[in-house]
Amino acid sequence: MTKTVVLKCGGSTVHQLSESFFHSLKALIEQNWQVLIVHGGGPDITKMLQALNIETEFFNGQRKTTEAVLEVAEMVLAGKINKQLSNLLQQKGLKSIGVSGSDAGLLRADYLDKEHLGLVGKVNAVDTEAVGLLMENGYIPVVAPLARTISHDTLNVNADLAAAAIANAVGATKFLFVTDVPGILDQDKQLINEITPFEIRSLINSEVITGGMIPKVQSAVATLSDVCKEVIIVSGQEAFLEDNEFKGTKIVKERKVLST
């Protein structure tokens, strides 16, 4: 049976991926996993907008996207980060190909909230044909989080949500968020090894889970299914596999009851 893993590589970590991260990735490929990577790039987009004196702000965790902002977001995501990451994978000896979510009908979207957010997409369909062909032939598709409407407008999509939509559509058995922290940390800044949607809700309510971690855990919870039984949050600065076990925080529907 084909095993597929989708990794979402955050803009916070995409320039700092460690050698041991790539070792873990190679280990997955040696174990015949098909791999697809969706990347972010929020910090780079913000930096470029500031350099160009274009104002930028977020509403409910998503970037308000005007025509000018979209032009820069597409340039940074599909032009810069996508190519850098695909090159880096090839340097490490991995077969990869960079595409935009707006290519080959991969991500179709509607406007999420045109009034408040402008050109921001909510994915409503995913065409996995092209990325499926690539993965079957041993390539890692590297996907920039952009989508197209039915009338061919390009939209900016939050990368966590784009990755979740793709993970669902390709039937990923594992979904990894690669970020700049080792996983979800509790109120004492200790790593949580395993967590359920119920416990996540309580940590959001008590403001232990905040900011950029919120769309990650929400996307994770939405992706949990009989196919994808766990979603894992790991750091890009270290190995994410140890003795064939995933490190980080595992998000699971419910905790296994240990039999005595």
Ligand X SMILES: Nc1ncnc2c1ncn2[C@@H]1O[C@H](COP(=O)(O)OP(=O)(O)O)[C@@H](O)[C@H]1O
Q: Which residues bind ligand X (CB under 6 A)?
A: 10-13, 40, 42, 179-181, 184-185, 208-213
Is residue 41 annotated as involved in ligand binding?
yes
Element (H, E) at 4: strand 3-9
CB burial readout 58-95, b (16+ within 10 A) else e: eeeebbbbeeebbebbbebbbeebbebbbebbeeeebe
User: Rounded distance, CA 20 to CA 34, Å?
Assistant: 19
User: Rounded distance, CA 246 to CA 233, Å?
Assistant: 9
Site stretch for ligand X2W (CB under 6 A), options 21-29, 94-102, 151-159, 248-256: 151-159
Contact call for residues 130 and 99 (beta carbons, < 8 A): yes
**Amino acid, single-letter form, for residue 110:** D
Which entry of ligand X, ligand X2W, none binds 181, CB below 5 to 8 A by partner kind? Answer: ligand X
Least separation in angstroms between residue 78's CB and ligand X is 17
Residue appearing with tokens 């979800």: 184
- The residue whose Cβ lies closest to ligand X2W is 40
Window 62-81: contact mask with ligand X2W (x via CB under 6 A) = xx---------x--------
Nearer to ligand X2W, 10 or 141 (CB): 10
Site stretch for ligand X2W (CB under 6 A), options 5-13, 133-141, 203-211, 241-249: 5-13
Q: Which amino acids are annotated as binding site for substrate, given as ranges?
A: 41-42, 63, 156
By CB under 6 A, name the binding residues for ligand X2W: 10-12, 40-42, 45, 62-63, 73, 120, 145, 156-159
